[in-house]
Chain A
Amino acid sequence: MLPLPSPLISVPVTSGLLCQKFKLANGLVVLVTENPIADIIAARIFVGAGSIREPENQAGIAYLTAATLTKGTHRFSSAEIAEQVESVGASLGVERASDYFLLSLKTVSEDFLDILTLAAELLRTPSFPEPEVELEKRLALQSIRSQQEQTFTLALKGLRQSLFPLGHPYNQTGPGDPDQIAQLQSTDLHQYHQTYFRPDNMVISLSGNLTPTEAVEYCQQVFGDWSAPEQELLPPQALQQVVKSPLVNESNLSVTPQPTQQSIVMLGHLAPSVQEPDYAALKLLYTYLCNGLSSRLFVELREKQGLAYEVSGFYPTRLGPSHFVVYLGTAAENTAISLTKLQAEIDRLRQQPLPDEELATAKSKLLGQYVLGKQSNAQLAHLMGWYEALGLGIHYDQTFPKQIECLKAETVYQAACQHLYHSHISLVGSEAAMQPWLKLS
C-alpha cells in the first residue's frame, strides 16, 4: 500500500472540522472533511462538464448525460444498478448544472466503499443504452412542454431569453433545446463523456465518518488506475461575455399570457460572475434586498403594502456572467403597481449608498447564514467541492467572508450603479392582466 500523500492544503470549515485537499497521480482532486458525529458519509463528485461545456447544436446533452448515466455500464444493467443502490438504502443522484456536472451520494459508513465503487464505474464506463436514451429523451421533452404549468418557470424563461443571447448556456431554463435534444444519440453521449469525464477534470468531496487516510485509499482504489487522456482539456467554449444592450427597447420586455389567478412580475439584470471584483458587493445587495422576512422587498412590498405572498429574488454564483433577479406574485389587478414598486426598489439602490447600519445588518446576516449553511455532511461536501470545481479553491471558504466584511458602502453603491440599471422585465399572467404590455412587446 502506498503511503498517504500529505495534504496540499487544509482549511478549517466549521467548529472543529478540517477540510483537507489531496491530489492523486492522475490529477483527480480529493477533498475530505472528517466528521464522526453521525455514522454517515456524503460524497459530491463534480465533473467540469455542465451546460457551459455543451457543443454547439447539442443544448441538452449535459442534461441527457445526467439522466442516463445511471442507466447502464459495460457490466451492469439499469435494474442491477438501481438494485445495488437501493438494497442498501443508499441515495445516489446525478444532475447537471450550468457550470458543472454532479454525482451525489449518501450512505451509512459501512456501505460507503461499495457505493463509491459503483459510482466510479458509472462515471468511468457508462454504456448509454439506446432504449434508455430514448426513454429519457421522451421524459426530457415532456418536462420542457410542462414548463408552461409553472408561472414562475415561464417568467424566468422569458427573462433569461431576453438577458442572454440565443445559444448561450445560461439562456436555458430546463433540460435544453427540444429540437436539439430530439436529435441526440447514444454516440453523442459517448463522445461528450469521453471528452470531459476524465480524472483531471474531477473533484471528489467527502464529508462524514471517515478518516483522510481511508478517503484517499478508497479513491485510489476505485479511480487510481484511470489515466487522463493525452489531449489537453478544452476550456469551456460557451462562456463568452454578454454585452448589455445600450438602449431600452422592446427586447427587454417579455410578456407571457397564461390562464392564472396571479401575475408574476420579474425584473432581471446581467450581473458579475464569481470571478469579478463586484461579486461580493452584489451578494450583499441580494441579501439586503431579497433574503428573508426582514429583507427590504419583503418588508416594503409584503408587510407594508400587502402586494404579495411570495416576494424574493436570486443571484446565482456563476463562472460566467450571472443575473440578479427580483420577483413577486401578485393579484392580476396589482400587476402595474407591483412592477412600479419593484422597479423603484431597484432604482433606489442607485440613488444613494446604503446607510452604515443597514450595511452592517446585511453583512452580519450574510455571514451568519454562511455559518448556518454548514451543518450537514451533504452541505459541507457540496460547498467545498463546488469551490474547488469552480477553480476558486477550498480556501475561498475563508476568503469570501473576509470580502464581505471588508465591503464599504461606497463600493456597494458603485456596484449597484454599474450593474442594476436597465432592468429586463418578464411578466406572466392572464390575458386581461397582460393586456397593457402585450401592445408593447
Chain B
Amino acid sequence: MWLDHYSPKSWDSAQTIGAAQACPVHQRRLENGLTVLHQYIPSVPVVAVDIWVKAGVTSEPEAAPGLAHVLEHMIFKGTETVAPQQLDRLLERQGGIVNAATGYDYAHYYIVTLADQLEVCFATFVNLLIHAAVPEAEFRQELDVICAEIDQAYDNPDWVVYQSARQLLFPHHPYGRPVIGLAELPPLLSAAHTRDFHHQCYQPDNMTIVLVGDLPHEQAIDLVQKHCDWPQVLLGREPLSFSPLMPLGQRSCHAMETPGIDQARLTMAWLGPDVSAPAQGYGLDLLSVLLTGGRTSRLVADLLEQRGWAHDVHSEFFLQREGGCFTISVWLDPKYLEVVETLIREHIYQLGETCIPEAELHRCQQLVVNDFTFGTEMVNQLAGLYGYYSILGELEQALAYPQLIQALEPQHLQNLVQLYLSPNNYAITTLQPCSL
C-alpha cells in the first residue's frame, strides 16, 4: 500500500490541478485507519468536505438490494445528540449545502460551507455519519420518500434504458442492478438491518475524508482528530467477493416498448477495464470523446450532422472497481434503430482496424484535459474528484490525469478498442414508443 502512516504525503505543485495550481494535496492515514486528504485553497472563503465510504451496492447483503441507498437517506435522520434536520438548518442558514449520493462502489456525503462556520457544521456532519441512530419511526416515514424516488426513476425512460443495458452487461453482479434497488424494496427491510449495515461498513478504515478550501493544514487535521471518534472500531471484515466479470460472448439484446414517449432510445454497453489499469480507463474516456464529444466527433458528425438519423448521441466511460462500463446512447426516430446500430458497429470496427490520425487524437486530448481543468475550478469539484479516486485506490493516477491523457498514442487506443470494444459482442437495449 502506498499510504504513509507517519508523514503526510504530498505532491509537488506541478502535479496538482485546476484552481489549485499552487497548493499541494496532502494525504494522511490516521491510526484508526481513516484516510484524510487535504488541500489548502485560500482564494475563496469556502470549504468543501466530502466523505467517501466503501459502502455502495457492492457491499450490500444479497437479500437486501437498495440497502446502501436506504442507509444514505437514514444517515440524515439523526443520532443520540443530533436531531434530524439539525445539520440542514445549521448549514443552510448561512447558505451552505449538504447532499449525498450512493454508487456501486461507494456512498458519499458532502457539505460546502463558509470557512468561518466550518467547525460546528463539521462536528455535526461527522457525528451523523459515525453515530447514525436509524430511528424506527423515521425509518418507516423515509421508506415512503424512497418509494417516491424509485417511482420517479422508473418514470424516466433514459434511466430505464441505461439500467436495462447494465443488467445485460453485468448479469450476475451487483453492477447489474439499479443503485436505488429494484422496483420494490425488500418487504422485510428493517431499521435493524440498516443499523447493522452501518456498523459493518461505516468504519474508519473504510472511509476517506476530503477537506478542500480556505482551511490551513494543521487546522484540518486537528478538526478531524477532534471530532471523528468511533465508539468501537470493527476490524477484520471480509469484503464480499463476486465472480470475476467477463465480457459478453455475443450480442445480448433487450427490446422494450412504452407509451408516453415520442422518440426511441438505444444504449450499447461494453465491459471496460477495472481500476488496476487506470491508464486504460483514461484511454476509454478519450475514446468516448472521440466518438461523441463535440460536433467534430465521429458519431455526432455522422449520425446528427450528416445523415440526420439521430436527435442526440452520447458516450461515456464509467470507471468501477471491478470493471468499468463503456456506453453509447442514441435518441432517434424508431425507424432508424437498426441502421444506427449497424453504423455504430462499423465505427467501432474502424477504430479497431486503423490508427486514429494524430490531429484527431490531439484534438480529443485537448478536449479531455481542458474539460478536466474546467471541471476542477471549485472546491467541491476538487473534493469530489480526490474522494472518488481515493476510494477506488487510485488517487495518484487521478492527479496525473492530464499527463496520462497527453501520453496516449494512437497505437494504445487501437489496442484498447480491440481489447474492450467488440463490434460484435455487446449489450444493447432499445426502447420504442407504443400506444397505450
Contacts and interface: CB of A to CB of B under 8 A. Distances in A.
A365 B149 CA distance: 26
A56 interface: no
A14 interface: yes
Contacts of B370: 88-91, 107-108
Interface string B249-269: 000000000111111000000
Interface string A49-62: 00000000000000
In this complex, the member of B89, B293, B379 whose beta carbon has the largest number of chain A beta carbons within 10 angstroms is: B89
A372 to B, nearest CB: 5
Contacts of A39: 21
Interface in A237-287: 258-262
B262 A145 contact: yes
A148 B294 contact: no
Interface stretch (A161-169, A183-191, A303-311): A303-311
A294 interface: yes
In this complex, the member of A299, A309, A329, A365 whose beta carbon has the largest number of chain B beta carbons within 10 angstroms is: A309
B154 A261 contact: yes
Interface in B289-340: 293-296, 301, 305, 308, 311, 331
Given A151-B155, A309-B148, A365-B95, A87 B114 contact: no
B186 interface: no
Contacts of A135: 305, 308
Contacts of B182: none
B377 A371 contact: no
B97 A292 contact: yes
B96 A368 contact: yes
Contacts of A106: 374
B205 interface: no
B46 interface: yes
Interface in B71-108: 76, 84-85, 88-89, 91-98
A364 B262 contact: no
A151 B95 CA distance: 30
Interface stretch (B26-34, B137-145, B188-196, B231-239): B137-145
Indicate the size class of the contact surface on chain A.
35 or more
Contact of B378 (A365, A368, A375): A375
Contacts of A369: 95
B248 interface: no
Interface string A124-147: 000000000001001100110110
B296 A83 contact: yes
Interface string A74-105: 00001100110111111100000000000000
Given A261-B151, A310-B152, A368 B93 contact: yes
Contacts of A206: none
A87 B260 contact: no
In this complex, the member of A106, A307, A375, A378 whose beta carbon has the largest number of chain B beta carbons within 10 angstroms is: A375
A262 B379 CA distance: 36
Given A149-B261, A368-B95, A377-B377, 5 more contacts: A39-B21, A86-B363, A146-B261, A329-B152, A376-B377
The 3 closest A-B pairs by CB, nearest first: A368-B95, A89-B366, A306-B144
Interface of B: 18-19, 21, 43-46, 76, 84-85, 88-89, 91-98, 112, 114, 141-149, 151-152, 154-155, 157, 258-263, 293-296, 301, 305, 308, 311, 331, 359, 362-363, 365-371, 373-374, 377-379, 436
21 contacts: A14-B44, A15-B43, A38-B18, A79-B301, A86-B296, A87-B359, A88-B366, A142-B263, A146-B311, A258-B260, A292-B97, A293-B98, A294-B85, A303-B141, A306-B141, A329-B148, A365-B94, A365-B95, A367-B95, A368-B95, A372-B97
Interface of A: 14-16, 37-40, 78-79, 82-83, 85-91, 106-108, 135, 138-139, 142-143, 145-146, 148-149, 151, 258-262, 291-295, 299, 302-304, 306-310, 329-331, 361, 364-372, 375-378
